[in-house]
Amino acid sequence: MSNKIFEDKLSEYISRINNKLDEISSIPNLPQKSVYEAMRYSLMAGGKRVRPVITAAVAEMLGGDVDTAVCASAAIECVHTYSLIHDDLPCMDDDDLRRGMATCHKVFPESTALLAGDGLLNMAFELLSDDEYLKVPADMKIRLISALSKASGTRGMIGGQILDLEGESRNNLTIHDLELMHRGKTGAMISVSVEFGCILCSLYDKTSDEFVKIREFSENLGLAFQIKDDILDVIGDETVLGKPIGSDKSCGKNTFVTILGIEEAEKCLAVLTDRAVSALDIFGDRAWFLKELADALLRRDK
């Protein structure tokens, strides 16, 4: 498959996703409009849109409706954006830049940024439960809501974040500890993006060969994604990344690079990406885009 075909398909997905995000983040003329402005600022600040793209691509691979997948995936991007707002706060990583722009709490009061994150989290579940917005059966909505709440909660993203905070400056952190942390902090939201695509196509049997292989793809991709982030924090280009490099080291964070070194981290990244791609062989040519996406994430520079 040519690179241009992949890039065109990726651009198509991102365009549809951005249009939907633009639609859901309109600012109402209400007394509390300032929190909507902060929510929109962060939601529309760019980004790779990896998670909603994955949901749309999985749904299309399984024969589902892409428009419906885009609607559902907006909820995932709302949760992801809320987590970035909170992650950047002074009580967390205290970052000034995100995607080349000032972080939410630098543009708005810190209290407003905090509430904007809360607002986006709640908006995600408002979208999924709104019958006019997401026209799918009630049992499917419940599955989507359950999957997202688990992935973003204390056994998923929040759980990974607390392990990350508590692991700072620990000199006895192992690779197993690091994998556990990031399978929650980063991997859970990648995995739920894949699961959304399955749910929207009524692929509910988690023991089926198709689901097992899709889960294998998501677990390996999620960990690979984090390792690449760790590598870029050391050798990336600040002007491309849109944020300073070396922030992990300055915060005393344990990463795959600090524990393994650059060379071994890159080898691990390649192995995980290969496992993710190979897991999709069961789907034949239908998996071409997701395979190309995994490779593109391996080669990304931001």
The token pair that represents 68 in the structure block: 């419906």
The token pair that represents 159 in the structure block: 């759980």
What does the alpha-carbon distance between residue 174 and residue 180 come to, in Å, rounded to a whole number? 10
Say if residues 82 and 120 touch (Cβ distance below 8 Å).
yes
Superfamily holding 3-299? Farnesyl Diphosphate Synthase (1.10.600.10)
What does the alpha-carbon distance between residue 169 and residue 221 come to, in Å, rounded to a whole number? 27
What is the model's pLDDT at position 245?
Answer: 65
- Flag whether pLDDT at 264 surpasses 90: yes
Range scoring the smallest mean pLDDT among 16-20, 31-35, 120-124, 204-208 = 204-208
Range scoring the smallest mean pLDDT among 10-14, 121-125, 237-241, 254-258 = 237-241
Q: What is the mean pLDDT of residues 176-201?
A: 96
Range scoring the smallest mean pLDDT among 25-29, 195-199, 240-244, 294-298 = 240-244
pLDDT class of 243 with cuts at 50, 70, 90: low
pLDDT class of 171 with cuts at 50, 70, 90: confident
pLDDT class of 170 with cuts at 50, 70, 90: confident
Q: Tens digit of pLDDT for each residue in 216-225? A: 999 999 999 9
Q: How many CB atoms lie within 10 A of CB 147?
A: 20
| pLDDT, the chain, mean | 93
- Flag whether pLDDT at 46 surpasses 60: yes
- Flag whether pLDDT at 148 surpasses 80: yes
DSSP assignments along 181-193, one per residue: HHHHHTHHHHHHH
Q: What is the mean pLDDT of residues 98-126?
A: 96
Query: Which long-range contacts does 295-301 make (Cβ < 8 Å, 24+ apart)?
Result: 296/6, 296/10, 297/50, 297/221, 297/224, 297/225, 297/228, 297/273, 298/224, 298/228, 298/269, 298/270, 298/273, 300/48, 300/228, 300/232, 301/232, 301/236, 301/237, 301/240, 301/241
Q: Tens digit of pLDDT for each residue in 47-106? A: 899 999 999 999 999 999 999 999 999 999 999 999 999 999 999 989 998 888 999 999
What is the model's pLDDT at position 172?
Answer: 79
Q: Tens digit of pLDDT for each residue in 267-280? A: 999 999 999 999 99
Q: What is the mean pLDDT of residues 153-173?
A: 89
pLDDT class of 254 with cuts at 50, 70, 90: confident
The token pair that represents 204 in the structure block: 């509910």
What is the model's pLDDT at position 252?
Answer: 65
pLDDT class of 25 with cuts at 50, 70, 90: very high
Q: What is the mean pLDDT of residues 163-191?
A: 90
| CA R_g for the chain | 19
For tokens 């600022």, the residue is 41
